[in-house]
Amino acid sequence: MRDRIVIIMTMITVLVACSPKNGEKITGKTKTDPFIEQLMAKMTLDEKLGQMTLYTTDWESTGPTIRSGYQDDIRLGRCGALFNSHTVEFTTLLQKIAMEESRLKIPLLFGYDVIHGYKTMFPIPLGEAASWDLAAIENSAYIMSKEAAASGLHWTFAPMVDITREPRWGRVMEGAGEDTYLGSRIAEARVRGIQGENFAKADRLLACVKHFAAYGAPIAGRDYNSVEISERVFRETYLPPYEAAIKAGAKTVMTSFNDYNGVPASGNKYLLTDILRNEWGFNGYVVTDYTSINEMVNHGVAKNQTDAGIMAVNAGVDMDMQSAAFQEKIKAGINDGRVKMEKIDASVRRILMLKKELGLFENPYRFSDKKRETTTIMAKENLDASKDMAKKSVVLLKNSGILPLAKKPMKILVAGPLADDKNNLIGAWSASGEGRHCVSLYEGLRQHPAAGNYSFEHIKGCEIEGNDQTQFSIILEKAKTSDIIILAIGEHKDMSGEAASKSVIRIPGVQEDLLKALKSTGKPIVTVIMNGRPLILNDVHSNSDALLEAWWLGTQSGNALADIIYGDYNPSGKLPISYPRNEGQIPIYYNHKNTGRPLNPNDKYTTKYLDVPNTPFYPFGFGLSYTTFTYGVPTVAKSTFSSQEPITVSIDVRNTGNFDGEEVVQLYIRDLVASVTRPVKELRGFQKVMIKKGETKKVTFTLTKKDFEIYNQNMEKVVEPGEFHVFVGGNSDTQNKVSVTLQ
Ligand code: GLC
8 Å CB contact between 670 and 678: yes
| % of the chain beyond a pLDDT of 70 | 96
Of 583, 609, 625, the residue at which a domain comes to its end is 625
Nearest of 386, 259, 234 to residue 315 by alpha carbon: 259
> Around Cβ 94, how many Cβ atoms within 10 Å?
18
Let me know whether 76 and 91 are in one domain: yes
The pLDDT value given to residue 96: 98
Mean pLDDT value across the chain: 95
The pLDDT value given to residue 15: 41
SS3 361: coil
Q: Collect all residues with Cβ–Cβ distance below 8 Å to 140 and sequence separation of at least 6.
A: 116, 117, 122, 128, 193, 385, 386, 389
Q: Collect all residues with Cβ–Cβ distance below 8 Å to 488 and sequence separation of at least 6.
A: 414, 415, 416, 417, 418, 419, 421, 441, 527, 528, 530, 550
The pLDDT confidence band at residue 479, using thresholds 50, 70 and 90, is: very high
Ligand 1 centroid, distance to 290 Cα (angstroms) = 6
The pLDDT value given to residue 461: 97
Ligand 1 site, residue 157, Cβ cutoff 6 A: yes
Ligand 1 site, residue 289, Cβ cutoff 6 A: yes
Of 625, 657, 681, the residue at which a domain comes to its end is 625
**Amino acid at site 74:** I
620: domain CATH number is 3.40.50.1700
pLDDT tens per residue, range 636-687:
999 999 989 999 999 999 999 999 999 999 999 999 999 999 999 999 999 9
Ligand 1 centroid, distance to 288 Cα (angstroms) = 9
In a domain, 10, yes or no: no
The pLDDT value given to residue 30: 59
Ligand 1 site, residue 63, Cβ cutoff 6 A: yes
Is 70 exceeded by the pLDDT of residue 473? yes
Ligand 1 site, residue 155, Cβ cutoff 6 A: no
In a domain, 12, yes or no: no
In a domain, 7, yes or no: no
Let me know whether 62 and 174 are in one domain: no
The pLDDT value given to residue 67: 81
pLDDT tens per residue, range 113-141:
999 999 999 999 999 999 999 999 999 99
Let me know whether 403 and 506 are in one domain: yes
Let me know whether 620 and 572 are in one domain: yes
Is 90 exceeded by the pLDDT of residue 14? no
In a domain, 688, yes or no: yes
Let me know whether 65 and 200 are in one domain: yes
Ligand 1 centroid, distance to 241 Cα (angstroms) = 19
Of 573, 607, 625, the residue at which a domain comes to its end is 625
Q: Give the atom of ligand 1 at the shortest distance from the alpha carbon of 160.
A: 9
In a domain, 218, yes or no: yes
In a domain, 217, yes or no: yes
Let me know whether 130 and 100 are in one domain: no
In a domain, 9, yes or no: no
Range of the domain at 165: 120-134+160-195+389-625
Ligand 1 site, residue 498, Cβ cutoff 6 A: yes
User: DSSP secondary structure string, 412-463?
Assistant: EEEESTTSS--GGGG-SS-TT--GGGSPPHHHHHHHSGGGGGEEEEEE--S-
Buried b (16+ CB within 10 A) or exposed e, 463-489: ebeeeeeebbeebbebbeebbbbbbbb
Ligand 1 site, residue 113, Cβ cutoff 6 A: yes
**Amino acid at site 204:** R
**Helix 511-519 with 472-480: angle, nearest 10 deg:** 30
SS3 699: strand
pLDDT tens per residue, range 350-391:
999 999 999 999 999 999 999 999 999 999 999 999 999 999
pLDDT (mean) for 250-277: 98
Is 70 exceeded by the pLDDT of residue 465? yes
The pLDDT confidence band at residue 8, using thresholds 50, 70 and 90, is: very low
pLDDT tens per residue, range 433-464:
999 999 999 999 999 999 999 999 999 999 99
Residue 10 to residues 14, 21, 105, 354, 370: CA-CA distances in angstroms?
6, 18, 20, 19, 39
Ligand 1: residue whose CA is nearest its atom 11: 290
Let me know whether 613 and 659 are in one domain: no
Find how far residue 152's CA is from the centre of its chain: 23
Let me know whether 319 and 444 are in one domain: no
Q: Is the peptide bond before 616 cis (omega within 30 degrees of 0)?
A: no
Q: What span, in angstroms and rounded, lies between the C-alpha atoms of 175 and 128?
A: 9
pLDDT tens per residue, range 173-225:
999 999 999 999 999 999 999 999 999 999 999 999 999 999 999 999 999 99
In a domain, 90, yes or no: yes
Let me know whether 153 and 112 are in one domain: yes
Let me know whether 297 and 245 are in one domain: yes
Ligand 1 site, residue 62, Cβ cutoff 6 A: yes
Q: Give the atom of ligand 1 at the shortest distance from the alpha carbon of 254.
A: 10
The pLDDT confidence band at residue 13, using thresholds 50, 70 and 90, is: very low
**Phi-psi sector, 543: left (phi>0), alpha (psi -120 to 50), beta:** alpha
pLDDT tens per residue, range 514-557:
999 999 999 999 999 999 999 999 999 999 999 999 999 999 99
SS3 371: helix
Q: Give the atom of ligand 1 at the shortest distance from the alpha carbon of 84.
A: 12
pLDDT tens per residue, range 620-633:
999 999 999 999 99
**Helix 34-42 with 2-18: angle, nearest 10 deg:** 100
Q: Which residue has the higher pLDDT, 408 or 13?
A: 408
Ligand 1 centroid, distance to 63 Cα (angstroms) = 7
Ligand 1 centroid, distance to 157 Cα (angstroms) = 7
The pLDDT value given to residue 26: 37
Ligand 1 centroid, distance to 300 Cα (angstroms) = 22
pLDDT (mean) for 89-96: 98
Q: Give the atom of ligand 1 at the shortest distance from the alpha carbon of 256.
A: 8
251: domain CATH number is 3.20.20.300
665: domain CATH number is 2.60.40.10
Residues involved in catalysis: 289
Let me know whether 453 and 598 are in one domain: yes
| Tally of domains within the chain | 3
Let me know whether 330 and 406 are in one domain: no
- Give the residue, out of 110, 498, 501, with the most ligand 1 atoms within 8 A of its beta carbon, to mutate for a pocket test: 498
pLDDT tens per residue, range 16-68:
333 333 333 434 555 679 999 999 999 999 999 999 999 999 988 889 888 88
